[in-house]
């Protein structure tokens, strides 16, 4: 579903991704781990077609980036640590707006369904700026699943959420994964990643330094695996 070969991204002269290779099968849930500054967000922004690669080949669901980005976006859902929502619109208005941008049919019905999914049906007429961070993040997930995308990208979605909001988010993430969607999620929270993902990749110094399937590692060993991966992450070239 996602194939990335020798991806390089530079900001000016500074390389952030240095020949990264990455492959995800359809239906996999990959947790992308790594220290601050490793390039996780940059990598996810390239996959989301928000940033152009400097070099390398990126294919998602058969579409080549950046050439076929517009067609790919219809099959892509993105949740970042920012909600991407308008504070002066209600929850319902925000979803209606995005549904129109995606050209969805039967918008009112779909929006009602999604508000129910993220547990905000009772607050649908409230302005988003009155929502807590957790509620905003739930609505952000609603926005991302509105068009029923095949591939979902989550950039540290648990950032700033309290325990209850995290659990609610995890429930939605499990629902998303259970539907057979392909998910890539960056995270600093190993325990949470261990609970959700079917594979763990460690991004360090601009490359995937290590990768392991959830079935092949005990949860207790994940921290040791992560530390070892960061320590041995090598820079090609």
Partner 1 sequence: MKAERALQASPKASPVGSFLGAVRAIVWKDLAAELRSRELLSSMLVFALLVILIFNFALELDVKARATVTGGVLWVTFAFAGTLGLNRSMATEKDRGCLDGLLLAPVDRSVIYFGKAIGNLVFMFVVEAIVLPIYSILYNVNLFQPGLLLVILLGSVGYVAVGTLLASMAVQTRTRDVLLPILLFPLVIPVLIAAVKASTGILEILPMDQIRPWINLLVVYDIIFTAVAFMLFDYIVEE
Provide, for the chain, the percentages of residues in helix, strand and coil under a 3-state DSSP scheme, each rounded to the nearest 5. Answer: 40, 25, 35
Nearest distance in Å: CB 97, partner 1: 5
Task: CB nearer to partner 1: give 55 or 178.
Answer: 178
CA distance 169 to 224: 26
Token digits for 170? Answer: 């995890």
Nearest distance in Å: CB 19, partner 1: 19
Task: CB nearer to partner 1: give 97 or 212.
Answer: 97
* Strand pairing category for 207-213 and 14-24: unpaired
Q: Which residues contact 231 (CB under 8 A, 6 or more apart)?
A: none
Nearest distance in Å: CB 56, partner 1: 15
Closest by CA position to 153, among listed 5, 4, 45, 23:
45
Contact predicate 203/209, CB 8 Å? yes
The footprint of partner 1 (CB under 8 A) covers 45, 48-52, 70-74, 76, 78, 80, 82-89, 93, 97-98, 100-106, 110, 113-114, 116-117, 127, 143, 145-148, 171-172, 175-176, 178-179
Task: CB nearer to partner 1: give 92 or 201.
Answer: 92
Nearest distance in Å: CB 163, partner 1: 20
Longest dimension (CA), the chain: 55
Nearest distance in Å: CB 194, partner 1: 23
Task: CB nearer to partner 1: give 31 or 79.
Answer: 79
Task: CB nearer to partner 1: give 86 or 189.
Answer: 86
């Amino acid at each position: 579903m996602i194939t990335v070969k020798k991806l390089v991204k530079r900001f000016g002269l500074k390389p952030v991704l240095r020949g990264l290779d990455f492959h995800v099968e359809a239906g996999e849930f990959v947790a992308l781990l790594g220290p601050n500054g490793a390039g996780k967000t940059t990598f996810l922004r390239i996959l989301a077609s928000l940033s152009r690669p400097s070099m390398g080949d990126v294919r998602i669901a058969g579409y080549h980036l950046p050439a076929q980005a517009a067609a790919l976006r219809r099959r892509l859902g993105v949740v970042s640590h920012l909600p991407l929502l308008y504070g002066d619109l209600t929850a319902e208005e925000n979803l209606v707006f995005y549904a129109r941008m995606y050209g969805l049919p039967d918008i009112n019905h779909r929006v009602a369904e999604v508000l129910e999914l993220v547990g905000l049906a009772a607050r649908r007429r409230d302005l988003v700026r009155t929502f807590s961070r957790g509620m905003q993040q739930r609505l952000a997930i609603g926005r991302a699943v509105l068009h029923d995308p095949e591939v979902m990208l989550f950039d540290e979605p648990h950032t700033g959420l309290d325990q209850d909001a995290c659990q609610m988010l995890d429930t939605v993430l499990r629902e998303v994964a259970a539907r057979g969607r392909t998910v890539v999620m960056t995270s600093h929270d190993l325990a949470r990643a261990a609970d959700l993902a079917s594979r763990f990749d460690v991004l360090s110094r601009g490359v995937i330094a290590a990768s392991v399937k959830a079935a092949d590692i005990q949860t207790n060993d994940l921290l040791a695996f992560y530390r070892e991966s960061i320590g041995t992450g090598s820079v090609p070239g």
